[in-house]
Amino acid sequence: MVTPNSEIEVDREKGNFRFTESHKFDAGIGLSEKVIDYICDVKEEDQWIRDFRKRALKVFESKPMPTNWATKDLENIDFNKIRYYLSGGNRASKTWDDVPDDVKQTFERLGIPENERKFLAGVEAQFDSEAAYSNIKESVGKQGVIFVGSTEGLMKHPEIFKKWFGKVIPTGDNKFSALNSAVFSGGSFIYVPPGVKVSHPLQAYFRINAENFGQFERTLIIADEGSEVTYMEGCTAPKFDTATLHSAVVELVAMPGAKIEYVTVQNWSSNVFNLVTKRAIAHEGATVKWIDCNIGSRLTMKYPGVVLKGKKARGEVLSIALANDGQHQDTGAKMIHAADETTSNIISKSISVGKGRSTYRGQVHMPKNLKGCKNNTECDALLISENSRTDTYPAITVRGNKNAVQHEASVSKVSAEQIFYMQQRGLSEGEAMSLSVNGFVNDLTRQFPMEYSVELKRLIELEMEGSVG
Amino acid sequence: MSNKLEIKNLNVSIGDKQILKDFSLTVPKGEVHAIMGPNGTGKSTLAKAIAGHPDYEVTSGEVIVDGESIMDMEADERSRAGLFLAFQYPMEIPGVTIANFIRAALNARLPEDEELNAPDYYKSLYAKMDMLKIDRKFTARSVNDGFSGGEKKRCEILQMAMLEPKYAVLDETDSGLDIDALKIVAEGVNSMRGPNLGALVITHYQRLLDYIIPDVVHVMYDGRIVKSGPKELALELESRGYEWVKELAGEVAAS
């Protein structure tokens, strides 16, 4: 444990503390071409990326908010009050000793260096706009695996980077992918050479420290033929009274026979708008699995997708969302079948606590010309109190008669009698609730990497204990 | 310290309906008392009110465990104070295994920085499951989820055996049991009998009392006890029927 420092504001929640800011580079408040020039200058980027960003800004400005189908709460984001780039001006260190003290202490409190020693093949730790630490185990680097930040990726490996960057998720995919394309900074670039199986997970940790800030990391992962990689990301931010924006774009490319597993456990504070676009392309015989756990935030909108482009490709989304009082988890999955014998599986579990609201949106698309495609969708919702709310919007388009789709949905409630039963055995109300919630997600978390299911269980306990008066 | 469970002049309502009327009863530790009575007379209300169910409003009166009033305690605090209720209708908890549930309940009784020793825990759990003839595979099954009536009741007694309460209230534990299951459950309860346990067995039928032989039998009607006596009272009640109870109740009300 780190000894508490007088500069740190501590709260019982693990992520709710912050250091006073000291940023060498600050693009100021609001969004304009000037801000983009500032970012490009600081990063010393090539002209093509400057042009790419400026085009994206125009797309962002031209696109309306998706409030015709999504929540009106989006209108409360004031893009003119957000700071789009903040960094300490240091290059990402390869050893923790070289990381500035306050940043190092932040990540130590979040347990990152300890996890790195225990079970990770590589770690990237991003603090506001830039990575403070980035390192890959020597043995993994020797196999030809590239694991760097997005800026370094586009500068040092343009031949791979440019080929896929913005191809899985085009700038104009949605308003927020356009915003990210205009101001992105940080995130990971990963390339795994053909046949290489990375035995331990690579991890990125995204930390927002500053107020009124937007974090726009950009991640691109390419698993070449027959390779395998697991990537894990964690996110936290301290709680501010003002809104914070997190809007990432994550693109995955699984070449023929490759396997990518992408695990997210986010624990944003309740002032964060979390609007993220995540999509993968799976080529022939490739498998992409998204494991997505959404806890915290004010509003999360995220629908990880897989474009099943090659024969026998497989896509999976396993997601858990917990919406506490005042939070809205609008999550789901997209499966676009574009080749024969492709299979997809979506399992979504959501929990609504107090006045929390969870929404499931799913899209499964199977065109007429395909055969032998299968999809299984299960979405289960658990309501904790009378005021909780859950909605399900499945959109399944299946044409032709040579494909199979299966859809199941359920809504259950933790009843007062159930809580009383558990309390009669000596568990407090909070413990009883967290036990029922963990029971509800249990069959899903069993499929997660062990370290993450333990972390998730602990986060659920914290959320549930905090939710009873 | 007084070693007894005391229920003193308890008045309990659900909504505006008064169910328990000045109900009083004392169960000394080491004794087994039975409460018999027709349906709708307030037996289950008594069990829930003692356990602290929030829907049951105690308008006056007290429940005292070993000299300490538990009226200001939440249900979980009452449990940790040594009170156990075997439910008439045990709740299902999907996804939570029996092993994890009982472990969580035991951990709730330990100081915050202490954890149960896992090997010792399983040893004790398995021994008690064997005694109750519960297949050890049940440790991995969700609590009461998809259980038969008999399995649920045995699971209740297993929890009781693991939590070692000072006082246990068994609410209609015999309902839904065939004769073999009834014997197993009764054996389980009997094995826990001794100077450290006081038990209140609530039942509609005398049948259970052939196997769990009570020290005292109370007859309950319309929210209060109308007659108490030795174990033979259960047999008398069985032969004379609940019409007799109504007559007794009339006498109590008139006196």
Residue B197 sits in a domain whose CATH number is 3.40.50.300
Report how far residue A440's alpha carbon sits from residue B95's, in angstroms, rounded to the nearest whole number. 6
Adjacency order of strands within the sheet including B167-171:
B83-86, B167-171, B198-203, B32-36, B216-221, B224-229
The whole-number pLDDT of residue A421 equals 98
- Residue A416, chain B, CB below 8 Å: the answer is yes
Residues 6+ apart with CB under 8 A from B109: A426, B80, B163
CA neighbours closer than 13 Å in the CB half-sphere of residue B150 = 13
Provide, as residue numbers in chain B, all residues whose Cβ is less than 8 Å from the Cβ of A320.
none
A436·B85 Cβ contact <8 A: no
User: Of A302, A328, A361, at which residue does a domain stop?
Assistant: A302
A40 assigned to some structural domain: yes
CA distance linking residue A124 with residue A277, whole number of Å: 20
Q: Which of B163, B170, B150 is nearest to B102 (CA)?
A: B163
Span between the terminal Cα atoms of chain A, in Å: 29
Q: Inter-chain contact A421–B142, Cβ cutoff 8 Å?
A: no
- The CA distance from A213 to A122, in Å, is 27
Relative to beta strand A305-308, strand A328-337 is: parallel
Whole-number pLDDT of residue A127: 83
Looking at the 3D structure of chain A, how many domains does it have? 2
Which residue segment(s) compose the domain that A428 sits in?
416-469
Phi-psi region of B178 (alpha: psi -120 to 50; beta: other; left: phi over 0): beta
| DSSP E strands, B15-141 | 17-28, 32-36, 57-65, 68-69, 83-86, 93-97
How distant is the Cα of A347 from the closest Cα of chain B, in angstroms?
Answer: 16
For position A5, what pLDDT does the model report? 37
pLDDT of residue B32: 97
| CA separation for the pair A86, A132 (Å, rounded) | 12
Q: Give the position of tokens 């439910």.
A: B87
What is the arithmetic mean of pLDDT over B7-21? 94
Residue A332 CB: number of other CB atoms within 10 A?
28
Q: How many CA atoms lie within 13 A of B167 on its CB side?
A: 24
Alpha carbon distance A364, A393 (integer Å): 12
In a domain, A374, yes or no: no
Flag whether A198 is in a domain: yes
A110-132: string of b/e by CB count within 10 Å (b at 16+)? Answer: bebbebbeeebbbbbbbbbbbbb
Segment holding A274, helix H or strand E = strand A272-282
Is residue B195 pLDDT above 90, yes or no?
Answer: yes
Coil, helix or strand for A335? strand
Beta-carbon separation of B93 and A435 below 8 A: yes
ipTM of the complex: 0.96
| Integer CA distances (angstroms), B185 to A64, A332, B217, in order | 67, 47, 19
Task: Compute the nearest-CA separation of B208 from chain A (Å).
Answer: 24
- Could you tell me if A295 and A422 lie in one domain? no
pLDDT for A265 equals 85
Residues B129-140 pLDDT 10s: 999 999 999 999
Task: Give the model's pLDDT for residue A1.
Answer: 33
Q: What is the Cα–Cα distance from A66 to B230, expressed in whole angstroms?
A: 76
- Both structure tokens of A421: 């039963």
pLDDT at A354: 86
Chain A, nearest residue to B110 by Cα: A426
Considering the entire predicted model, what is its pTM? 0.85
Structure tokens at B190: 């009997």
Structure tokens belonging to residue A428? 């407090």
* Domain span at B26: 4-91+164-254
Distances in whole angstroms, Cα of residue B40 to Cα of each of A56, B43, B170, B222: 72, 7, 17, 8
Domain identity same for A298 and A432? no
- Asked which of A275, A302, A329 is the last residue of a domain, the reply is A302
Instruction: Look at B90 and A428 and tell me if their CB atoms are within 8 Å.
Output: no
- Whether A425 sits inside 8 A of B95 (CB atoms) is no
Contact B105 A441 (CB under 8 A): no
Of B91, B100, B109, the CB nearest to A418: B91
Q: Based on the fold, state whether residues A75 and A207 are members of the same structural domain.
A: yes
pLDDT tens profile A268-316 = 888 899 999 999 999 999 999 999 999 889 999 999 999 999 999 999 9
- The answer to the question of residue B110 being in a domain is no
Chain A residues with beta carbon closer than 8 angstroms to that of B75: 420, 423-424
Considering chain B, what percentage of its residues have pLDDT values greater than 90? 80
Determine the residue of chain A that is closest to B145 in CA distance.
A439
B102 confidence band (pLDDT: 50, 70, 90): very high
How many separate domains does chain B show? 1
| Radius of gyration for chain B, computed over Cα atoms and rounded to the nearest angstrom | 18
The tens-digit pLDDT sequence of chain A (469 residues) is 333 333 444 444 567 766 666 678 888 899 999 999 999 999 999 999 999 999 999 999 999 999 989 999 999 999 999 999 988 777 778 888 888 887 788 788 777 788 887 778 888 888 888 888 888 888 888 999 999 999 999 999 999 999 999 999 999 999 999 999 999 999 999 999 999 999 889 988 888 888 888 999 999 999 999 999 999 888 777 777 778 899 999 999 999 999 999 999 888 888 899 999 999 999 999 999 999 999 889 999 999 999 999 999 999 999 999 999 889 999 999 999 999 999 999 999 999 988 899 999 999 999 999 999 999 999 999 998 778 889 888 888 888 778 899 999 899 888 899 999 999 999 999 899 999 999 999 888 888 877 778 778 878 887 887 666 5
B79 and chain A in contact, CB less than 8 A: yes
**Among B80, B96, B159, which would you mutate to test the A interface (most chain A Cβ atoms within 10 Å of its Cβ)?**
B96
> Is residue A359 in a domain?
no
Q: Are residues A32 and A163 in the same domain?
A: yes
Tokens of A373: 């495609």
> A295 in a domain, yes or no?
yes
Q: Is B33 helix (H, G, I), strand (E, B) or coil?
A: strand
Mean pLDDT of chain B: 93
Choose one of A286, A302, A318: the last residue of a domain. Answer: A302
Is the distance from CB of A263 to CB of A201 less than 8 angstroms?
yes
Q: Is A361 within a domain?
A: no
Cα–Cα distance measured from residue A371 to residue A368, given in angstroms and rounded to the nearest whole number: 8
Does residue B142 belong to any structural domain of this protein?
Answer: no
In a domain, A424, yes or no: yes
Three-class DSSP labels, B118-172: HHHHHHHHHHHHHHCCCCHHHHHCEECCCCCHHHHHHHHHHHHHHHCCCEEEEEC
In DSSP notation, A188-204 reads: EEEEE-TT-B--S-EEE
| Chain A residue with Cα closest to B52 | A424
B44 touches chain A (CB under 8 A): no
The per-residue pLDDT for range B28-46, each reduced to its tens digit, is 999 999 999 988 899 999 9
CA distances from B184 to A120, B138, B139, B196 (A): 51, 17, 18, 21
The DSSP annotation for A275-329 comes to EEEEEEEE-TT-EEEEEEEEEE-SEEEE--EEEE-STT-EEEEEEEEEE-TT-EE
Q: Which residues of A touch B76 (CB under 8 A)?
A: 423-429, 432
Residue B175 included in any domain: yes
Identify whether the C-beta of residue A351 lies closer than 8 Å to the C-beta of residue A382: yes
pLDDT of the residue at A14? 62
Residue B94: name the closest of B140, B145, B137, B138 by CA: B145
Chain B interface mutation, best of A410, A423, A434, highest count of B Cβ atoms under 10 Å: A423
Among chain B residues, CA nearest to A435: B96
Chain B segment 100-139 residues within 8 A of A by beta carbon are 100-102, 104-105, 108-109
Within 13 Å of residue A439, how many CA atoms lie on the same side as its CB?
A: 28
At A13 the pLDDT is 58
Q: How many Cβ pairs closer than 8 A exist between chain A and B?
A: 81
Q: Is residue B64 part of a domain?
A: yes
CB within 8 Å: A424 and B94: no
Q: Could you tell me if A324 and A356 are in contact, meaning their C-beta atoms sit under 8 angstroms apart?
A: yes
User: Does the beta carbon of A1 lie under 8 angstroms from any beta carbon of chain B?
Assistant: no
